[in-house]
A and B are shown apart, each in its own frame.
Chain A
Amino acid sequence: EPEVTQTPSHQVTQMGQEVILRCVPISNHLYFYWYRQILGQKVEFLVSFYNNEISEKSEIFDDQFSVERPDGSNFTLKIRSTKLEDSAMYFCASRYQPEKLFFGSGTQLSVL
């Protein structure tokens, strides 16, 4: 069964550094998402992406965050200057049909 793949599985960075989280969505999917889950909290929506542009973003997705689909297969989330509170599990997701999202296994980001 096709799946969403995310790399790396773990990322440790120093506060203030830039990180790029990578995702390869399922190949025929058209909509792409980033969610995150801070330890012990609920899964939170960050941003959705369709037709090479952001279609929706949450309050969390401020100017420090950006997304890109640099080629036909990758979808990246960049955090320009990481903060301690950015530490979380970041999930990429994609879909073809409405609402049914397929999630990757996540990147655990630790900001020290």
Chain B
Amino acid sequence: DQQVKQNSPSLSVQEGRISILNCDYTNSMFDYFLWYKKYPAEGPTFLISISSIKDKNEDGRFTVFLNKSAKHLSLHIVPSQPGDSAVYFCAAANTGRRALTFGSGTRLQVQP
């Protein structure tokens, strides 16, 4: 079941530069998308979300973009900081089925 896909298992960027994490989905019933960050030995932590009626949502250094026609979303982190180094999970849900479907995650390494 690959309804939510994160095709890049890892990403390395320099401190201060932009990090772009990508996510694709196949289920057109999804109408809400979220990004979670996960450090080792901790549970996923909610970062930012976007509903399908929007194409952009911004919160500080984090911006999520949604392209519904392409079934693609991305998370931009700018400027990237070493503390952002973690695994980032994309997740999706629909109004009828509240359970989240997660992608496989992208490990972000921000180099000082």
Q: Which residues of B contact A43 (CB under 8 A)?
A: 44, 89, 102
- The reply to whether A58 and B34 contact each other, CB–CB distance below 8 Å, is no
Given contacts A42-B105, A43-B89, contact A99 B100 (CB under 8 A): yes
A18 interface residue per 8 A CB criterion = no
- The reply to whether B49 and A100 contact each other, CB–CB distance below 8 Å, is yes
Which of A56, A99, A102, A106 is B42 in contact with, Cβ under 8 Å?
Answer: A106
Which of A35, A99, A104, A106 is B49 in contact with, Cβ under 8 Å?
Answer: A99
A103 interface residue per 8 A CB criterion = yes
- The reply to whether B98 and A31 contact each other, CB–CB distance below 8 Å, is yes
A93 to B32, CA, bound (A): 18
Interface hits, B78-108 → A, CB 8 Å: 89, 93, 95, 97-105
B43 interface residue per 8 A CB criterion = yes
- The reply to whether B98 and A102 contact each other, CB–CB distance below 8 Å, is no
A98 interface residue per 8 A CB criterion = yes
Enumerate 19 A-B pairs (CB-CB under 8 Å) in ascending A order.
Answer: A42-B105, A43-B44, A43-B89, A44-B102, A45-B100, A45-B102, A48-B98, A55-B98, A56-B97, A58-B99, A99-B98, A101-B46, A101-B100, A102-B46, A103-B36, A103-B44, A103-B45, A104-B43, A105-B42
Q: Which 8 pairs between the two chains have the least Cβ-Cβ distance?
A: A103-B43, A43-B102, A45-B99, A42-B104, A105-B43, A103-B44, A99-B32, A105-B42
